[in-house]
Amino acid sequence: MRTGKVSKKVGQREQLILALLQQPSLEKAAASIGISTVTAWRISKTKEFKDEYRNARWEAFSQSLARLQQASGAAVSALLKVMIDKTTPAASRVRAADRVLDHASRATALEDIEARITELERAANPSARAPKANDFSGHTRGNVVLREEPGPGKATTTTEGRLVQSGRHVEAALA
């Protein structure tokens, strides 16, 4: 959000976006910032609002995904503990083993897709620089993306698994 002097309209739009991220409805969001529901509805129909609200929701969602990724190590430990604990009911152990195998299979598939995309990038642009050690720009792992500004001979992979290079899109089937 902006700092400094802003117009009343911009200020209301920004307040409404913040309120909508915290309230379950447009009516409650409007009430929480002291504007009428009709005013909130009118603001919500503008292109600026839609763009800014989409970006704000994505940022909030992205932070949630990062928290899930941070907790994934503990989740794996819990699954493995249930899977190998002889005192755990057999059905729970089998379910834990099934989930471990399922997640391992998906991770392997993602790594395969990642390798294929990398090979396609090299084939599409053989003059592009070779990646240097510890250069992870454009590299994806799950939903984490380290972006590189697109430019001539450069590519960016989005969180949707889409490879963008010179205005083209190559879809990757990420499950």
| Sequence ranges of the domains in the chain | 1-69, 113-175
pLDDT of residue 143: 41
DSSP 117: H
- Nearby residues of 148 by Cβ (< 8 Å), 6 or more positions away: 137, 138, 154, 155, 156
Instruction: Please say whether the dihedral angle defined by the alpha carbons of residues 106, 110, 116 and 120, taken in this order, is positive or negative.
Output: positive
CB-CB contact of 161 with 140 (8 Å): yes
pLDDT of residue 126: 80
Q: How many CB atoms lie within 10 A of CB 105?
A: 11
Q: What is the pLDDT of residues 28-74, one digit of tens each?
A: 999 999 999 999 999 999 999 999 999 999 999 999 999 999 999 99
> Residue 12: is it exposed, middle or buried by C-beta count within 10 angstroms (0-12/13-18/19+)?
buried
pTM recorded for the entire structure:
0.51
pLDDT of residue 6: 75
Low-confidence ranges of the chain (pLDDT < 70): 1-4, 128-175
